[in-house]
Amino acid sequence: MADQTSNTSIMESKLAHPLHQIAETPTHKLLLKQWLKEEELILNRTALKETQIDSVRKELTQLYCFFFLFHSTALVLLFSASSRGPQSSSCHRSWIPSLCSLLFSLGMIWAVRYKTDVEGHLEKLLEREKEDGKLLAKCVEELKRKGVEFDLLKEVDALRRAKSLRVEARAVRKWSARDFVSLFFFTVSCLVLGLTRVILCS
């Protein structure tokens, strides 16, 4: 008799377990499956965004190296050419390398600015995916903890409302890191133009 009573209590405790309740309730079971699948999709999208950000950062590093390599090589070649040729002709034609340097610099500044904008956009998307993942993980935990006591209409509506009303915190900034990078490259370009003139006309 005692064994039968203990078996009955064990069965009741199993039935009372939230996960067992979810397995026995089609709507809760379907919702849990959907949320777990969505969690996996968010993880995949997060990994993809991180890979894309790493790729953009590598491209930016290559642009930085190419910018300085081009200008340093151009200045060395101009210096060696001016030391061998007459100064008057070199100074007279100094607008040609200056124009080439200016056009190259403007193109590189645009490319760097574009890539940094892409990086910033991807970082915002990554942050949004992580926030969605945390919010969804919290709901899944609540569902597993409450079982059939989990109010589908109330909780799902709260999740949708949290996603739709989420406002990105936008701090008012007069200058950003991307602006300083562009300003730095513009300053270096102006210095290179001045050095080009000095090398060819001194």
Please state, in angstroms and rounded to a whole number, the distance separating the CA atoms of residues 170 and 155. Answer: 28
pLDDT over 60 at 139, yes or no: yes
**pLDDT the model gives residue 101:** 86
Q: Does the pLDDT value for residue 182 go beyond 90?
A: no
What is the pLDDT confidence band of residue 198, given thresholds at 50, 70 and 90?
confident
Instruction: Give Cα separations from 179 to 32, 35, 60 (angstroms).
Output: 45, 41, 15
For residue 155, give the amino acid letter: E
pLDDT at position 25 is 73
pLDDT, tens only, 3-57: 554 444 444 444 456 667 777 777 777 877 888 898 899 999 999 999 999 999 9
**Measured between alpha carbons, how far is residue 98 from residues 66, 110, 112, 149, 200 in Å?**
18, 18, 21, 75, 10
What is the percent of the chain where pLDDT is above 90? 26
pLDDT at 76 over 80: yes
Residue 162 makes CB contacts below 8 A (sequence gap 6+) with: 135
- The average pLDDT across 144-153 equals 71
- Supply the DSSP symbol for 150: S
pLDDT at 89 over 50: yes
pLDDT confidence band for 2 (50 / 70 / 90): very low
| pLDDT recorded at residue 159 | 66
In tens, the pLDDT along 103-127 reads: 999 999 999 999 999 998 999 999 9
